[in-house]
Amino acid sequence: MLTVQNDSQLVDRMVVFFKQLGYSTRVRILCYLIQEPRKVSDIAVHLNMTLSSVSHQLRVLREAGLVSGQRQGKTITYQIKDDHVATIIQNTLDHLAHSQGDAYDL
C-alpha cells in the first residue's frame, strides 16, 4: 500500500496545488465564487482589480482545476469547479477559527 510520504509525485502535486492557493488574490476570488458564479467584470469590480489581472488569476485557478468557466458570447462566467474546493476553503477557515478561537464566514 502506498502512503503519501512514499509517493513523491503525489507530494509534488500537493505542493504545486498549495502554491497555487498561496496568493491572496486567488483566495479572495475563490471565496467570492463560492457564493455564486460570477462574471470576470464582477470579480474585477468587487476586488478593485483590472480585468486583465483578474483574468490572469482565473487562468491559474482554472489550470489548477479549482474553477471552471462557461462562455456566453464574449462573456465568461466563472464558478467553483466542485464542492471539494469549497470544502478546502471552509476547512481552512474552521482550522483558523479553532486555533485562534474565532469564527469566520465566507
Radius of gyration over every alpha carbon of the chain, rounded to an integer in angstroms: 15
How distant, in Å, are the alpha carbons of 17, 20, 85 from that of 65? 9, 10, 9
Rounded to whole angstroms, how far apart are CA atoms 32 and 100? 23
15-65 confidence digits (pLDDT tens): 988 998 899 999 999 999 999 999 999 999 999 999 999 999 999 999 999
- State the pLDDT at residue 70: 95
Q: With bands split at pLDDT 50, 70 and 90, how would you rate the model's confidence at 4?
A: confident
The answer to the question of residue 89 being in a domain is no
- The CA distance from 65 to 77, in Å, is 15
Q: What is the mean pLDDT of residues 68-83?
A: 94
Q: Over the chain, what is the mean pLDDT?
A: 89
Range of the domain at 69: 4-80
Q: Say how far apart CA 102 and CA 34 lie, in whole Å.
A: 21
**Could you tell me the CATH number of the domain that includes residue 20?**
1.10.10.10
Q: Is residue 90 part of a domain?
A: no
Whether 10 is in a domain gets the answer yes
> Considering its fold, how many domains does the chain have in total?
1
Residue 105, pLDDT > 70, answer no
